[in-house]
Amino acid sequence: SHTRPLIPKSSYYFGPPPSDSAYGTPPMGQIGVHHPREILRVERDYTGGELIQFAPIYPLELEGRITPTQFLESVNAINEQLIAAHSLHHAFVDNMITVFSLQLSKLFRKTHYEREMQRLQDLIDDLNAGLYNPVGLNIRWPRDVAFLYLEIEYYVSVHIIFCVLE
């Protein structure tokens, strides 16, 4: 008798989801008020070396919520923003300005990386508001887990949660 926790945690993929998972149920519940029923993890793509990118492989758990094309476009937009943030040219210029101003430039201007991270936060907020939240999904801020993976929260009706637990 396996009991599932009320507050899920993302984990590495070990095979198909268990029979009592919430995947495939209709999107309901309120994002930010209720706990998600499942948390899906999109792993990093290490084919580009140490550059931070997420794998654009469509998770089957999202079937019925968003299309593979929508997921691919979302991940590609996030990856493009991460690539822009880690520009060597901009990092060199920012470091030179910081050194020559004796660290005082940090009081008056943001670095290129900080500006790009703000753009990434805005992009994720826009993706959530326009595409993911209306279908009961929510992309979490990947900086909270040091960009090791991208978490997508999967919400369902509170009624369904209590039926599964009984």
What would the pLDDT profile of 139-150 be if each residue is shown by its tens digit?
A: 999 999 999 999
Query: Is the residue at 63 inside a domain?
Result: yes
Query: Is the residue at 3 inside a domain?
Result: no
Condensed to tens digits (0 to 9), the pLDDT of residues 7-66 reads 777 766 666 666 666 666 665 566 766 778 888 999 999 988 888 999 999 998 898 899
Specify the number of domains making up the chain: 1
Condensed to tens digits (0 to 9), the pLDDT of residues 75-89 reads 999 999 999 999 999
Query: Is the residue at 70 inside a domain?
Result: yes
Query: Is the residue at 129 inside a domain?
Result: yes
Provide the domain limits for residue 124.
38-154
Tell whether the model's pLDDT for residue 157 goes beyond 50: no
Query: Is the residue at 74 inside a domain?
Result: yes
Residue closest to 139 by CA, chosen among 43, 22, 39: 39
Query: Is the residue at 24 inside a domain?
Result: no
Catalogue the E-assigned strands of the chain. 38-43, 137-139, 149-154
Tell whether the model's pLDDT for residue 101 goes beyond 60: yes
